[in-house]
């Protein structure tokens, strides 16, 4: 089994799903075999890669997980689509320990061909996020370069620490990536300094700039790397992929 990256942040609108999609696409284009898992009931990772949500989530249905995986338009990238079913959300958010065991069993059973599995989490500290964290080898946290993005960060860090303290845990802190970076704003540089001063080397050198191409790409069901490869946002995500590979 390769690396299982949980892309998580309890705050919405920080570029979490966008980062998951573009990392998955960038790694696949770089020659890695990648599986993108949509664990968010909003199913934005599914639609953002040009696929439709399922009626029932594969993790709670009786189907073998391999049968639910669908190919994407990007070579070497597969998708485990999400589901908007309220019943599925309730089932997946039941006992975090039980569900993490189920998810871990699914991810380790027959999916060993993947170099990377990226799990896109819901924007919350709830059981779905806890389950994804407990089933991963690394957590990657996007942070928007705004004041409110720092609020509640301590709660997310505490949740990660609790998961890491569990017996048989494999989770490590994969890194923090600064998103929606506007070099013209002093606030952006203040947030950058605060985050790097506090977290040090776990913060990626690469920052993702505020770029309209990044926001537009999901409406076409594509990553910005595929849709607008020459833009600043696309180049930033390619550089982020390189950093992720270097941290192996």
The answer as to whether 111 is a domain residue is: yes
The answer as to whether 196 is a domain residue is: yes
Q: How far is 195 from 201, CA to CA, in rounded Å?
A: 10
Token couple for 86: 């309220």
**Which pLDDT tens digits describe the chain residue by residue (248 residues)?**
689 999 999 888 899 999 999 999 999 999 999 999 998 889 999 999 999 998 877 777 666 777 889 999 999 999 999 888 756 666 666 555 556 666 666 666 656 789 999 999 999 888 888 888 988 999 999 999 887 777 768 888 899 999 999 887 889 999 999 999 999 999 999 999 999 998 999 999 999 999 999 999 999 999 999 999 999 999 999 999 999 999 87
Q: What are the residues whose beta carbons fall under 8 Å from the beta carbon of 167, sequence distance 6 or more?
A: none
b/e map of 174-184 (b: 16 or more CB within 10 Å)? bbbbbbbbeee
The answer as to whether 13 is a domain residue is: yes
- The pLDDT score that the predictor gives to residue 240 is 98
Burial of 105 (0-12, 13-18, 19+ CB in 10 A): exposed
- The pLDDT score that the predictor gives to residue 168 is 79
The answer to whether 87 and 55 are in contact (CB under 8 A) is no
Total of domains in the chain:
1
The CATH number of residue 116's host domain is: 3.40.50.300
The answer as to whether 69 is a domain residue is: yes
Q: Give how far Cα 103 sits from Cα of 97, 128, 146, 194, Å.
A: 10, 11, 34, 35
The answer as to whether 229 is a domain residue is: yes
- The pLDDT score that the predictor gives to residue 236 is 98
The answer to whether 36 and 77 are in contact (CB under 8 A) is yes
Q: What are the residues whose beta carbons fall under 8 Å from the beta carbon of 157, sequence distance 6 or more?
A: none
Closest CA to 10 of 149, 182, 132: 149
Radius of gyration over every alpha carbon of the chain, rounded to an integer in angstroms: 17
- The pLDDT score that the predictor gives to residue 48 is 95
> How many other CB atoms sit within 10 Å of the CB of residue 55?
10
The answer as to whether 248 is a domain residue is: no
Half-sphere exposure of 41 (CA within 13 A, CB side): 16
Domain hosting residue 71, numbered range: 3-242
b/e map of 218-229 (b: 16 or more CB within 10 Å)? beebbbbbbbbe
Distance of CA 65 to the CA centre of its chain: 19
The answer as to whether 200 is a domain residue is: yes
- The pLDDT score that the predictor gives to residue 100 is 61
Q: What are the residues whose beta carbons fall under 8 Å from the beta carbon of 235, sequence distance 6 or more?
A: none
The answer as to whether 247 is a domain residue is: no
Closest CA to 203 of 123, 127, 141: 141
Q: How far is 68 from 21, CA to CA, in rounded Å?
A: 18
């Amino acid at each position: 089994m390769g690396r299982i990256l949980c892309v998580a942040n309890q705050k919405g609108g920080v570029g979490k799903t966008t980062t998951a999609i573009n990392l998955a696409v960038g790694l696949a284009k770089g020659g890695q075999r990648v599986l993108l898992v949509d664990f968010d009931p909003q199913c934005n990772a599914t639609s953002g890669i040009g696929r439709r949500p399922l009626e029932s989530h594969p993790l709670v249905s009786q189907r073998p997980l391999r049968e639910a995986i669908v190919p994407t338009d990007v070579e070497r990238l597969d998708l485990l689509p999400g589901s908007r079913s309220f019943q599925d959300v309730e089932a997946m958010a039941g006992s975090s320990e039980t569900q993490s065991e189920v998810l871990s069993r699914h991810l380790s059973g027959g999916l060993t061909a993947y170099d990377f599995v990226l799990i896109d989490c819901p924007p919350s500290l709830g059981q779905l996020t806890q389950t994804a964290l407990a089933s991963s080898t690394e957590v990657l946290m996007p942070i928007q370069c705004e004041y409110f993005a720092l609020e509640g960060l301590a709660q997310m860090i505490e949740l990660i620490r609790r998961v890491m303290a569990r017996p048989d845990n494999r989770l490590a802190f994969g890194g923090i990536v600064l998103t929606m970076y506007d070099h013209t704003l002093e606030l952006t540089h203040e947030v950058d300094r605060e985050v790097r001063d506090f977290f040090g080397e776990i913060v990626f050198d690469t920052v993702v700039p505020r770029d309209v191409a990044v926001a537009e790409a999901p409406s076409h069901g594509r990553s910005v790397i595929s849709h607008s490869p020459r833009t600043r946002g696309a180049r930033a995500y390619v550089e982020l992929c390189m950093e992720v590979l270097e941290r192996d």
